[in-house]
């Protein structure tokens, strides 16, 4: 089964999409590092670990909101591309 070709979108959308995905990976790596440091070496870093978790939740909210925006408002059928039948058509 071939995947449908992804629309390019405008420059702002492309940059923000890339920025959010980069931030996801950066936060997840930092979460793991601060978790290990807090558990085994230096407990005060756990405050940074908690902060990064809150950043991760914010990024996840932005990510889901953007997917729903593209599905409902822009009618780009992104949910179908990730295997979820659209509930909004």
Predicted confidence (pLDDT) per residue in 6-62, tens digit: 556 677 777 887 888 899 999 999 999 999 999 999 989 999 999 999 999 999 999
pLDDT reported for residue 13: 76
pLDDT reported for residue 9: 64
Q: pTM for the whole thing?
A: 0.73
Band of residue 1 on the pLDDT scale cut at 50, 70, 90: very low
Band of residue 88 on the pLDDT scale cut at 50, 70, 90: low
Q: Three-state SS for 2?
A: coil
């Amino acid at each position: 089964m071939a995947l449908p070709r992804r629309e390019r979108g405008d420059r702002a959308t492309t940059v923000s999409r890339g920025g959010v995905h980069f931030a996801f990976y950066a936060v997840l790596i930092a979460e793991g590092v601060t978790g290990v440091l807090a558990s085994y070496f230096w407990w005060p870093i756990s405050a940074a670990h908690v902060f990064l978790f809150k950043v991760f939740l914010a990024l996840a909210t932005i990510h889901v909101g953007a997917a729903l925006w593209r599905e409902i408002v822009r009618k780009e059928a992104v949910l179908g591309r990730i295997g979820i039948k659209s509930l909004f058509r």
